[in-house]
């Protein structure tokens, strides 16, 4: 009935998330409101690390990609599950530091890190830095030397795999701003240089082929290409690469037509390939890292809105306007993303209409979606948009000087605030 398993309808016909009535949540905390179900986050993390243990004999780490959804409470939850964290900016790293996240389980990404970011990462002792380009390697070597440390690094590699997903979220192909290219020899030359560096230690190779991917085959192909390169490094330079980071990218269900494969199957298949390739190439089994983001945060979240205006344009369409939109969820205007929505206070009723849910920004493209099946929605109703836990809050903005919504976590029938709603004073906080 709903795209996410944690959603249900209670005895008064209201939508519930994690056993909590969403209409009551809207009343208590106001709208727009991001709601995250803690149990879904925990269960999904467990599915990933349990399968890593089962199929890869525990020789791996799950690093939650915090770009999908980052706040201190999320960092605490991931830390308490014993998993690691992928951060991509000093801001995400700072959030993790302040949440008390164990730094040895953090990987620091970014295709254009500043010196300030590298210095901070070295200072707080992140587990490893994923170096994207040669100038970063040179700058990091100097920074690590100054701080008298040896910093562990991985190299981000473009494995030349074309994942079948939206152009904007593809990253593994040669025409990409991320990482070192294999085909041109760029990656090999960089490795040759890194193995002779004193203050950085190359401990792994990383690739991330894209996001919202439903096939397992591109991940298997990427693993093969990466292992081939690890073998080449071993054979030509006599250097052992200990870690293989295969990134994230596992697709989730936004609408009924999406059919993601279970993560267990992904880990089973990829582990098999890695093991058999290592045997064939005569190299040691590397420690495996994966970086799921969307798959952990996405299905855990919903966004609640209050309906304002309803406009029926005969023979054209019906607009149902809500008190949020592209400022809290820019994914429709960016990618034409699809979502499932429910009128939370009529969740037990049939969805009898197909409407366009519009946001409140001065922008015609500010929509949550078009042609969305929905119960009849009128002013004052609460609309829940499902599976918004990833890349909504983390990509939100203050466009039109709108205040960012609050974030509430629900857990076993209870709710608690994790991020406060921005106030009008927050909007002008840095204005002089
Ligand atoms: N690792 C690296 C190096 C990444 O760049 C990403 C995502 C991930 C892991 C996590 O990928 P995931 O499991 O979440 O697919 N804003 C876009 C998605 C951009 C993904 C960026 N990188 C969207 O809303 O669809």
Task: Please provide the DSSP assignment of 60-102 as one string.
Answer: EEEEEETTSS--HHHHHHHHHTT-EEEE-SHHHHHHHHHTT--
pLDDT in tens, 299-341: 999 999 999 999 999 999 999 999 999 999 999 999 999 999 9
Residue among 186, 314, 216, 292 at smallest CA distance from 247: 292
Q: Measure the CA–CA gap between 282 and 4, rounded to whole angstroms.
A: 43
Nearest atom in ligand 1 to 294's CA: 14
Q: Measure the CA–CA gap between 93 and 85, rounded to whole angstroms.
A: 9
For a mutational test of ligand 1's pocket, the pick from 158, 171, 249, i.e. the residue with the most ligand atoms closer than 8 A to its C-beta, is 249
pLDDT score, position 168: 53
DSSP 290-331: E---HHHHTTTEEEEEEEEEEEEETTTEEEEEES--TTT-TH
pLDDT score, position 268: 97
Residue among 395, 394, 405 at smallest CA distance from 360: 405
Nearest atom in ligand 1 to 297's CA: 14
For a mutational test of ligand 1's pocket, the pick from 61, 180, 207, 208, i.e. the residue with the most ligand atoms closer than 8 A to its C-beta, is 208
pLDDT score, position 164: 62
Q: Where in the chain is the domain with CATH 2.40.37.10?
A: 7-37+298-427
* Tokens read off for 344: 């939370």
Q: How far is the CA of 295 from the centre of ligand 1 (A)?
A: 10
pLDDT score, position 166: 56
Q: Measure the CA–CA gap between 25 and 364, rounded to whole angstroms.
A: 29
Cα–Cα distance list, 368 to 169, 330, 339, 386, 388 (Å): 19, 8, 7, 11, 11
Over residues 274-298, mean pLDDT: 98
81-94 residues labelled b (16+ CB within 10 A) or e (exposed) = bebbbbbbbbebbe
- Element (DSSP H or E) covering residue 26: helix 22-29
pLDDT at 283 over 60: yes
Q: Residue 24 in contact with residue 288, Cβ under 8 Å?
A: no
Over residues 189-212, mean pLDDT: 96
Q: Measure the CA–CA gap between 65 and 48, rounded to whole angstroms.
A: 13
Q: How far is the CA of 196 from the centre of ligand 1 (A)?
A: 32
Cα–Cα distance list, 344 to 166, 259, 334 (Å): 30, 25, 26
pLDDT at 173 over 80: no
Q: Measure the CA–CA gap between 414 and 416, rounded to whole angstroms.
A: 7
| 386 is annotated as an active-site residue | no
Over residues 20-46, mean pLDDT: 98
* Tokens read off for 405: 């919504």
Q: Residue 320 in contact with residue 357, Cβ under 8 Å?
A: yes
pLDDT at 351 over 90: yes
pLDDT in tens, 106-121: 999 999 999 999 999 9
pLDDT score, position 174: 72
* Tokens read off for 365: 């493209």
Q: How far is the CA of 93 from the centre of ligand 1 (A)?
A: 16
Name the residue with the closest Cα to ligand 1, atom 16: 391
DSSP-derived 3-state class of residue 115: helix
pLDDT in tens, 388-424: 999 999 999 999 999 999 999 999 999 999 999 999 9
Q: How far is the CA of 66 from the centre of ligand 1 (A)?
A: 9
pLDDT in tens, 47-76: 999 999 999 999 999 999 999 999 999 999
Output the CATH code of domain 109-292: 3.20.20.10
As a whole number of Å, the CA-based R_g of the chain is 23
DSSP 186-227: HHHHHHHHHTT-SSEEEEEEE---BSSB--SHHHHHHHHHHH
Residue 214's pLDDT band, with cuts at 50, 70 and 90, is very high
Residue 162's pLDDT band, with cuts at 50, 70 and 90, is confident
Q: Considering the entire predicted model, what is its pTM? A: 0.97
For a mutational test of ligand 1's pocket, the pick from 155, 211, 290, 397, i.e. the residue with the most ligand atoms closer than 8 A to its C-beta, is 211
DSSP-derived 3-state class of residue 123: helix
User: In what side-by-side order are the strands of the sheet with 15-17?
Assistant: 7-9, 15-17, 20-21
- Element (DSSP H or E) covering residue 408: strand 406-411
Q: Measure the CA–CA gap between 322 and 78, rounded to whole angstroms.
A: 32
Annotated active-site residue in 71, 197, 361, 362: 362
Q: Where in the chain is the domain with CATH 3.20.20.10?
A: 109-292
DSSP-derived 3-state class of residue 384: strand
Residue 160's pLDDT band, with cuts at 50, 70 and 90, is confident
Is it true that domain 7-37+298-427 has CATH number 2.40.37.10?
A: yes
Taking CB atoms and a 6 Å cutoff, what residues make up the pocket around ligand 1? Answer: 65, 67-68, 86, 109, 169, 208, 211-212, 247-250, 291-295, 331, 391, 395
Supply the mean pLDDT for the chain: 96
Residue 167's pLDDT band, with cuts at 50, 70 and 90, is low
Q: How far is the CA of 251 from the centre of ligand 1 (A)?
A: 10
Q: Measure the CA–CA gap between 172 and 174, rounded to whole angstroms.
A: 7
Q: How far is the CA of 247 from the centre of ligand 1 (A)?
A: 9
């Amino acid at each position: 009935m709903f795209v996410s398993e944690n959603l249900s309808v209670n005895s008064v016909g209201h939508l519930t998330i994690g056993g909590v009535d969403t209409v009551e949540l809207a009343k208590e905390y106001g709208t727009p409101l991001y709601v995250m179900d803690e149990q879904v986050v925990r269960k999904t993390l467990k599915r990933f690390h349990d399968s890593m243990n089962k199929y890869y004999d525990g020789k791996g780490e799950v690093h939650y990609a915090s770009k999908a959804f980052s706040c201190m409470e999320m960092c605490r939850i991931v830390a308490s599950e014993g998993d690691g964290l992928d951060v991509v900016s000093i801001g995400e790293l700072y959030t993790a530091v302040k949440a008390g996240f164990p730094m040895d389980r953090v990987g620091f990404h970014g295709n254009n890190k500043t010196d300030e970011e590298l210095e901070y990462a070295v200072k707080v002792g992140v587990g490893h830095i994923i170096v994207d380009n040669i100038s970063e390697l040179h700058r990091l070597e100097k920074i690590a030397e100054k701080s008298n440390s040896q910093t562990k690094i991985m190299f981000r590699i473009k494995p030349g795999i074309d994942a079948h997903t939206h152009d904007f979220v593809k990253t593994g192909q040669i025409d990409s701003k991320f990482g070192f290219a294999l085909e041109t020899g760029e990656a090999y030359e960089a490795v040759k240089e890194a193995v002779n560096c004193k203050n950085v230690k190359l401990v792994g190779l990383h690739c991330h082929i894209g996001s919202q991917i439903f096939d397992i085959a591109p991940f298997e192909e990427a693993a093969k290409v990466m292992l081939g390169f690890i073998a080449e490094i071993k054979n030509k330079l006599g250097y052992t690469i200990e870690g293989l980071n295969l990134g994230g990218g596992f697709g989730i269900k936004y609408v009924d037509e999406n059919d993601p494969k279970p993560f267990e199957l992904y880990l089973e298949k990829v582990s098999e390939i890695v093991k058999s390739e290592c045997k064939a190439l005569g190299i040691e089994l590397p420690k495996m890292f994966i970086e799921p983001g969307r798959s952990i945060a996405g299905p855990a979240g919903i966004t609640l809105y209050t309906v304002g205006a309803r406009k029926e344009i005969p023979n054209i369409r019906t607009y149902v306007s809500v008190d949020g939109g592209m400022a809290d969820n820019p994914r429709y205007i960016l990618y034409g993303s699809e979502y499932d929505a429910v009128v939370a206070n009529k969740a037990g009723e049939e969805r009898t209409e197909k409407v366009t849910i519009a946001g409140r920004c001065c922008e015609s493209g500010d929509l949550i979606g078009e042609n969305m099946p929905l119960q009849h929605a009128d002013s004052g109703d609460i609309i829940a948009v499902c599976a918004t836990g990833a890349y909504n809050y983390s990509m939100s903005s203050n466009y039109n000087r709108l205040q960012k919504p609050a974030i509430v976590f629900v857990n076993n029938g209870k709710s608690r605030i994790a991020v406060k709603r921005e106030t009008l004073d927050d909007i002008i906080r840095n204005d002089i």
